[in-house]
Amino acid sequence: MPLAIFDLDNTLLAGDSDYLWGHFLAQRGIVDSEEYEKENLRFYEEYKAGTLDILEFLAFSLKPLAEQTPETLAALHRDFMQTVIIPIIPPASRKLLQLHRNRGDELLIITATNRFVTAPIAEELGVPYLLATDAEMENGRYTGRVAGIPCFREGKVQRLHDWLQHTGHNLARSWFYSDSHNDLPLLEMVSHPVAVDPDETLADHASMKGWPVLSLRGENVEVKSGEWNLQQDEH
């Protein structure tokens, strides 16, 4: 069964859930608004520029999880889903996922954003498999530290490789959809790389390679350039 792999932030979502979670915490007064917002924006700009120190960012972004009880975090996340995330799920994203379901493909989201933030989003989208950065837990509480390999850049490749070995899946006839040049290591590995509302670096790379470019920001999946045809890979 072919894999259809999807980045989450700015791909299936019309926004970045990691950045928006930090903004949400600041708005709710869970973290110091001015200082946290400044650092949150700095890390986001570094991510877009391809200069992010992922371990420095995770020390920053996972700290609030360690400062709240699981019950408080769960309540906050329910509010976050309803007020922030569901409004930025484009109808076209749900349609694209359904197109792959109809083909019988296995759906997987792979994201650098931590599992606490992203697991409920994957559930909302009906995607059964999720590879995300894992936050360490001890005695039922988050510690503020990362567990294992961050699911970022080359770490995504390693995490996917480990998952493939564990599950018995493979990348034959696989698809990967992403917006970010940070995902080039994984885009180069799959049978069908697709740039979705790409950043400038990825757009240039996709043009050079002849990869299809899609937009999911409207009601329907829009092919911006290249050839995108799910029928080209018949089962």
Write out the two tokens for 104. 């019988």
Write out the two tokens for 109. 């989201």
33/22 Cα distance (integer angstroms):
9
53 is catalytic: no
Write out the two tokens for 38. 């400044």
136/148 Cα distance (integer angstroms):
8
From 7, 18, 105, 197, the catalytic residue: 7
Backbone angles phi, psi at 30, to 5 degrees: -75, -30
Give the dihedral of Cα atoms 234, 125, 171, 162; nearest 10 deg.
-160
233 is catalytic: no
Report, as residue numbers or ranges, the catalytic residues. 7, 9
